[in-house]
Amino acid sequence: MKAIVIVASVILMVRPLANAQTDSTKKSTIDFTTNVDLYSRYLWRGMQNGNSPAIQPTIKLTYKNFSFGAWGSVQASDKDATSLPETDLFATYTLPFGFSITVNDYFVSADESHYGDYLEYNPDKGSYHQIEGCLGYTGPTKFPISVLIGYTFHGAEWSSTSSANMNKSIYAELSYPIKNLTLIVGGGNKYYTTTKAKEDFTAVNVGAKIVKSLVITDKFTLPITGQIMLNPNTKCMYYTVGFSF
């Protein structure tokens, strides 16, 4: 409910700006999309989640400047506490001049047998939910830099003794595409660092991603993604390769 209230408030605040959109944008209809990614490893913000290949489906509804959807991930492992099923909800409102506001609801459980209560949002009752607000920016074609700043504002709070919790953690990322290569630099504090007794903001994600389309037929191409990621904080190097359908 908090996430819904925040998104509704943002829409009301930016409505005057949204009215400045073109007639073609106003006449746009509801669009439903779905896809699935298969990755050799699940990499996210300087961390490798699990030690097995991951299947990651997405469904999304888009209407004008608003989109809402669900994203999931599950490890291809039958060992207890290693499949790490994740079911996330997201809502994004696109603003003029390349800006956007997103609310992410992350829900990760230990394994397939312990999903927890999805309808429980109270962190004091063992809720698995962590809710994050993000501000995004994508530059113009001449300078297509992307900026992401995320702050987790609901869920179990981070502490030096409960480092798996995200609440009150910040993550920021810069990315810049050069043809099919994207350079990435990201940093965070608390949940994202190993300096558990501190709250220092530090670099945790330095790397690059390459996307190449494999031509199967004249009507079908298969996007292939390769990514390498160094976490200067943990001194770990990760890599993954994936396919999108």
Q: Number of folded domains in the chain? A: 1
Q: Is residue 22 part of a domain?
A: no
Residue 21 maps to a domain: no
In a domain, 96, yes or no: yes
CATH of the domain at 185: 2.40.160.40
pLDDT of amino acid 197: 60
- Is pLDDT above 90 for 241? yes
By CB atoms closer than 10 A (0-12, 13-18, 19+), residue 18 is: middle
Q: CA separation (Å) from 92 to 8, 188, 215, 245?
A: 11, 22, 32, 22
Task: Give the structural domain span for 178.
Answer: 2-16+27-244
Kindly report the pTM of this predicted structure. 0.84
pLDDT of amino acid 83:
72
Q: For 65-82, what is each residue's pLDDT tens digit?
A: 999 999 999 888 766 666
